């Protein structure tokens, strides 16, 4: 992070103006007492008796409100919310609710701004729960949404075998057509892992890369 952010890896040492999409700052966040404030927030998230869904949203808002660092506070807040939720429900490791936040980024900033002005994050909690609900609905509608890479590869190869295409080459696009909910990056990682495991072989490079099932591979029905 050297050269990319001021005081990278450390709490900021000076005040910071707070913006939520509006060109005019809402307030100035002080730097005094930041380590203690962050520790208190994390302790609250650890010991709170409210449902984890609600606590995670409070933690998200609290980190953005405090703005511990000179940059990346929004990413940090969303990461901590995901980490807290994953402790209770591993499915959140597969849940792209951040994508739904980014799709409605102005509304996200408006919810933060409103909560900051009122000193009450109730409206922000409602906003985040709606985004999580949308992400869950999409995940539940997907085919086998929480399978592991090896399971996805095995399922795809079995599918091609049943279509008598086992010996025919395929592209990443064919794999993504079978798993339409996968991102390009995830599909690439799956295929790279399959290459490492020896399940498939490849020729070419980039978008022109072709994959084939390893001749000796036997797909279990």
DSSP string, 24-76: S-SEEE--TTHHHHHHHHHHHHHH--S-HHHHHHHHHHHHHHH--SSS-HHHH
* Of 155, 142, 213, residue with least CA distance to 182: 142
Give residue 221's pLDDT: 38
Q: Is the pLDDT of residue 174 over 50?
A: yes
- The answer on pLDDT for 42 being more than 90 is yes
What pLDDT sits at residue 220? 42
Q: Is the pTM of this model over 0.85?
A: no
pLDDT at 179 (0 to 100): 82
Calculate mean pLDDT across residues 191-200. 92
Q: pLDDT (tens digit, 9 = 90+) per residue, 70-112?
A: 999 999 999 999 999 999 888 888 787 888 888 888 999 999 9
Q: Which pLDDT value is given to residue 184?
A: 86
Q: Where are the domains of the chain?
A: 16-141, 149-213
Residue with the larger pLDDT of the pair 5 and 171: 171
Question: Which CATH architecture describes the domain 16-141?
Answer: Orthogonal Bundle (1.10)
182 or 221, greater pLDDT: 182
Closest C-alpha among 135, 212, 213, 219 to residue 181? 135
The rounded percent of the chain whose pLDDT value lies above 70 is 94
Q: What is the CATH number of domain 149-213?
A: 1.10.10.10
Helix then strand then coil, in percent of the chain rounded to 5, is 60, 5, 35
Compute the Cα dihedral for 197, 199, 204, 210 and give only its sign: negative
């Amino acid at each position: 992070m050297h050269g990319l952010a001021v005081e990278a890896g450390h709490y900021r040492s000076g005040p910071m103006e707070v913006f939520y999409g509006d060109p005019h700052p809402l307030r100035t966040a002080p730097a005094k007492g930041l380590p203690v404030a962050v520790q208190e927030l994390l302790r609250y998230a650890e010991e709170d008796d409210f449902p984890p869904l609600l606590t995670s949203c409070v933690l998200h808002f609290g980190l953005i409100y405090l703005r511990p660092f000179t940059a990346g506070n929004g990413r940090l807040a969303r990461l901590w919310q995901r980490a807290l939720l994953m402790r209770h429900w591993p499915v959140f490791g597969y849940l792209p609710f951040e994508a739904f936040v980014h799709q409605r980024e102005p509304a996200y900033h408006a919810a933060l701004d409103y909560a900051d002005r009122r000193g009450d994050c109730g409206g922000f909690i409602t906003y985040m729960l709606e985004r999580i609900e949308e992400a869950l609905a999409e995940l539940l509608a997907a085919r086998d949404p929480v399978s592991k890479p090896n399971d996805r590869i095995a399922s795809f190869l079995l599918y091609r075998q049943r279509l008598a295409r086992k010996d025919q080459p395929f592209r990443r696009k064919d794999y993504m057509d079978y798993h339409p909910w996968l991102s390009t990056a995830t599909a690439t990682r799956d295929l790279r892992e399959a290459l490492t495991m020896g399940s498939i072989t490849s020729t070419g490079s980039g978008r022109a890369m072709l994959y084939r099932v390893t001749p000796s591979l036997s797909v279990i029905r």
